[in-house]
Each structure stands twice: as structure tokens, then as C-alpha cells.
Amino acid sequence: MEFLRKAQGRPSHLGILPGTFNPITVAHVGLAQAALGAVDEVVFVLPRRFPHKPYEGASFDQRIAMLQAALAAEPRFSIAAAEAGLFHQIAGAAREAYGPDVRLRLICGRDAAERIVNWDYGEPGAIRDMLRRFGLLVAARGGQYQPPEDLRDAIEVLPWKSAYEDVSATEVRRRIPAGEEWEHLVPPEVRPMARAIYGDPAGQPIARSPGNTPRY
């Protein structure tokens, strides 16, 4: 794990927020801020390689630049790069970087928690072994998550603001070239970069629908 920004001190409870951050949204930041009620530090982890998708849209360096701009005001946020992108690989890299005594909790939404718990890891009981090494902090996005009874001790529900339900990086990328309002979906510090990165790829002025006046 390579740190691009590191919080001061050594946490006893660490939250790990992996993502593609293409771009970082207000939902990512809100999720991390909510997690600070349960952990001492949140590290945003951007993999250099994704297990199921290539890099498209923003480059690795552009995504790191957006993360640095969005997170600069919170001293308890760190930014790191990981070589591999599977959740247990990221948790393993965090364990190596932070040491054996730090409690690790992976921050995710309900859909990601379901994928983690129900994934076929190729051997019985693999998820139980994984959750002995790190826990889950699960935001109730798109519905409350109900963990299996035998995993409840390792999974904690994270309070979540309903205002973020429809916020996604996919929606940001769709709206910008379409000329629809998008600025409220990303942190203010990220807007100039997002506009430049995800604008009309043909380089033409973006057509805007009547009455749709941008707020910048």
C-alpha cells in the first residue's frame, strides 16, 4: 500500500473505503464522515488494477488529484494506492501497512456487503475466516442490510443519510456531457477537475436544455 496522503498518528480503529472514485462524490465523503463516529481514521484506497474493469474516464493520477482536493480539509482522512482491487487483498495490504494491533473495518454499502458475504471464494467458510481479520461497516443504501446470523458479530450497520441515495459516479459521468445539473453530486473542490475530465469528448460546447442553467 502506497500512501499519497497520511493522517497523523496511529489509529486503533481503521476504516477502509475502497473505490474506483471516477469521480469521488459527496456520497463517498458522507460515508467516510459517518464512519468517523466508529473509527479513528478512514483511508480511501484506489487500486491500480481493478478485478473486473479497466481504467476508463479519469486516469489513476486524475482520480488521486480529485481525492486529494476533496479530502484536504479532514485531517483524519488518508489516501492510498493498492496494487490489487479485491476487498480481502486491500484489507491485507492495510494490515501490512498499519500493523497487527489495529482493528480493521471495511466501509461499504449494502450491495457491496452482499457481494462480499455471498461471493464464492472456492472453499467453505472462507468469508468467516476473512471476517476474523477485518469487519464490515455497512451503510443502509438502497435498503437495510441484514447479515447472516453467524456473521453478525463482524458486521455493523452504519447510519446513512437518505439524501445520498441517488448519488453515484456513474450519474456524474452521464450528466456532465448531457448538460444536466451535476455539481451537487461532487464536492465543490472537485468540480473544476470533473468538468474538464468528463466534459464533451468531442470538444464541442455542451448543449443545455431550456431553463437548465449551470450553477458555476
Cα dist from 81 to 22, 68, 94, 155, whole Å: 14, 12, 10, 25
Give me the percent of the chain exceeding a pLDDT of 90. 59
Please give the pLDDT value at position 85: 78
Low-confidence ranges of the chain (pLDDT < 50): 202-216
pLDDT at 212: 38
* pLDDT for residue 183: 96
Q: Does domain 2-192 sit in CATH 3.40.50.620?
A: yes
Q: What is the pLDDT of residue 201?
A: 53
Where in the chain are the domains?
A: 2-192
Cα–Cα distance between 160 and 162 in angstroms, integer? Answer: 6
Q: What is the pLDDT of residue 122?
A: 78
What are the pLDDT digits (tens) for 153-174? 889 888 777 678 789 999 999 9
3-state helix/strand/coil string of the chain: CEEEECCCCCCCEEEEEECCCCCCCHHHHHHHHHHCCCCCEEEEEEECCCCCCCCCCCCHHHHHHHHHHHHCCCCCEEEEEECCCCHHHHHHHHHHHHCCCCEEEEEEEHHHHHHHHHCCCCCCCHHHHHHHHCEEEEECCCCCCCCCHHHHHHEEEECCCHHHCCCCHHHHHHHHHHCCCCHHHCCHHHHHHHHHHHCCCCCCCCCCCCCCCCCC
Specify the pairing of strand 13-18 against strand 103-109: parallel
